[in-house]
Structure 1
Amino acid sequence: MPPTDHAAHVEQTLLQARALIESTVSLNRRRPAKGPAAPHTDVAVVAEAVEELVRGARHAVCVAVTSADTFDRIARKALTTLEPGLAVRLLCAPDVADESLAVLTRDAGGRLEVRVSGADLRDIVVVDGAAALVRAVAATGQATLVHDPAAVRALELLFAGAWSRSRRLDDHLALSPRLRSDLTGRILERLRDGQTDDAASRELSVSLRTYRRHVAEIMRELNATSRFQAGVRAVELGLLTE
């Protein structure tokens, strides 16, 4: 396939995957025949699907968790059933990352790597590059199973992109609460983009004096002697993309 055709195919696949993720979809699974049909919002059905996916993994499992809710608990429980030899990656939002994940990593005996990302994630599970589960954005209990190879590959690429820009769990836990805050992230973005203090303070709806005080505190937290050095350090810690 010519390079231009290949690039177009990859782009189209990614667009299809994003459309899949952002649509409100349902998990078409049922309870045993003796019981009533399970509604697609039934969390127990999602849990069953996640556990089945992870239990059937042979090579690799990638999981993204966006909030400390039911899906987070489902994912963590499923990851306790890992088989030896699996490469397992758990990518989570900052408010999900805590010491309990460090314990989970240790209990997994080196089979589980956890990273933290401030990117716009979706709750997903991808297994062996062959199957995936995606939780819908709008409804907590809604999800879909994905078996289409192109769609699964696109989900893998989206996960890999977020993973490459994430920070290690240990590095995240070592950060002060100030550096983990949303305001710090927004200030760092403006420093990276080269905005003047005056323009940045107006965008953030804070006084110029307050903005400069925040910048000075961030630099101190990052042990940086210049704004450029602070930017470099922020990238190293995964607080900023390059």
Structure 2
Amino acid sequence: MQVLGLTKAEEDVYRHLLRNPGAESDDLHILLHCAPEETDSALRRFRELGLLKEDGRAVSARAPEVVVGRLAERRLEELYESIRTLSHLQPIIDSLAGELPADEGDRADGPTERLTDIAEIRTRLDELSFFARSEVQSAEPYDALTPENIAHARPLDMRCLRRGVVIRNLVRAAALTDPATLAYLRELNAAGARIRVLDALDELILIYDRHTALVPIDPADTAKGALCSRERGIVTTIINNFERLWEAAEDFEAADGKAPADHSGISPLQLRVLEAMCTVAKDETGARKLGISLRTYRRHVSDLFQMLGAENRAHAALLARERGWI
């Protein structure tokens, strides 16, 4: 149990209490052949974590699933705090950069790089994503992501979101017609990414912490490589262009709800809401299952009632079955 943050002595005490519920706390050090300070320390920590049941001097351990769950949650919080601390490295960088001669310091924040090798570009993107500490803005004019693209992007995106980094992602409306791409966008949206959709999106933009920006060398041929810049004037111009596109775009959940209708006249998202509505008891559960907000879920439920002419959910389920929708 050391991986969960317990010392060996603490684990010995916990295992003993599992085997001997109601043991006398004063006798633990004798039974475990250790110093009384060790058992006293273990009991104090278990009390702080709420892992004991006590009746006078008699103590018992809480169930393993409770204890392991609480210890794992605490350990994860500690690890996430460490990650958040490590992700805020700019003060260290600024301090070290201050040691450079003036001309070297200017170059460190300066020139725009030309990256022409695809492996070099991917490495740079991985580095920027890993060290992002506040926000990632992206405009990606793809119609579909390959399974390889998704497999590579998922751990980077999820790591950022777990650290509290804001992700704002602009995508083409055409991307919502590809099942694998749409599923990944829903996954990102459910994890907290902010996604918007544009019917016409031709610009590839990546911005990290409003400090570093990447754009194609040739927008008409992204295979020619990318420009990576930290120059303030260039980055500010690229940010302003991104914000202009962002303001003109539609929220992902609204666009997802307008996906092309099938032969029944119901959109794919409405069909999924209908299926959830008929199989889960709570709206919160249905919304979480579909990866959409509770408000969006309930709006679709209301729309389905109107489409079906239903008075309640049971009536809606009956009418939907009659129409062959479910």
Q: 1:66 aligns with which of 138, 141, 157?
A: 141
Shift of 1:171: 1.0
SS at match of 2:126: helix
Aligned positions of 1:108-123 closer than 5 A: 108=191, 110=192, 112-123=193-204
Q: Of the candidates 242, 247, 263, which is equivalent to residue 159 of structure 1?
A: 242
Q: What's 2:171 paired with?
A: 92
Aligned mate of 1:57, from 132, 136, 139: 132
After superposition, give the CA deviation of every residue in 1:85-129 in whole Å (9 maximum; x if it has no partner).
2111011111223232111222x3x2x111111244311110111
Q: Counterpart of 1:102 in structure 2: which amino acid?
A: R
Normalising by structure 1, we get a TM-score of 0.51
> Aligned letter for 1:88?
I
Paired with 2:220 and 2:145, the residues of 1 have a C-alpha distance of 14
Once the two structures are TM-superposed, the CA of residue 27 in structure 1 deviates from its matched residue by 5.9
* Contact 1:50–1:78, Cα closer than 8 Å, also in 2: no
Change (3 A) 1:125 1:89: same
Q: Which moved more, 1:119-128 or 1:166-175?
A: 119-128
Q: Residue 76 of structure 1: CA displacement?
A: 5.1
Q: 2:221 aligns with which of 139, 156, 171?
A: 139
Which amino acid counterpart does residue 227 of structure 2 have in structure 1? Answer: T
Secondary structure class of the residue paired with 2:163: coil
Code of the residue aligned with 2:230 in structure 1: it is H
Write the deviation string for residues 128-164 of structure 1: whole angstroms up to 9, x where unpaired: 1111111232323311101111111111111111111
- 2:293 corresponds to: none
Q: Distance in 1 between matches of 2:221 and 2:113?
A: 12
CA–CA distance in structure 1, aligned partners of residues 243 and 149 of structure 2:
20
Contact 1:27 1:46 in 2 (8 A): no
1:104 corresponds in structure 2 to: 188
Deviations 1:67-90 (A, max 9, x none): 135796465553233152211101
In structure 1, the residue matched to 2:118 is 43
What secondary structure does 1:78 align onto?
A: helix
Q: Is the 8 A contact 1:119 1:162 kept in 2?
A: no
TM-score (norm 2): 0.39
The secondary structure found in structure 2 opposite 1:62 is: strand
> For 1:125, what is the secondary structure of its paired residue?
strand
Equivalent residue, structure 2, for 1:149: 232
Q: Which has the higher contact order (CA 8 A, sep 6+)?
A: 1
**CA distance in 2 between partners of 1:77 and 1:163 (Å):** 25
Where structure 1 has 5 or more consecutive residues not aligned to the other structure, the ranges are: 1-25, 30-39, 179-242
CA distance in 2, matches of 1:72, 1:124: 17
Aligned to 1:124: 205
SS of residue in 2 equivalent to 1:63 = strand
The 8 Å contact of residues 172 and 199 in structure 2, kept in 1 or not, is answered as yes
Aligned residues: 139
Unaligned regions of 5+ residues in structure 2, if any?
1-111, 177-181, 262-326
CA distance in 2: counterparts of 1:163 and 1:173, whole angstroms: 17
Partner of 1:10: none
Q: Indicate how the Cα distance of structure 1 residues 121 and 75 shifts in structure 2: closer, same or farther if over 3 A, else same.
A: farther
Q: Kindly indicate which of the two structures has a greater share of residues assigned to helix.
A: 2
Give distance in 2, aligned partners of 1:172 and 1:127: 26
Structure 2 CA distance for aligned equivalents of residues 76 and 172 of structure 1: 22
Aligned partners of 2:133, 2:246: CA distance in 1, in Å?
Answer: 21
Equivalent residues of 1:116, 1:167 under 8 A apart? yes
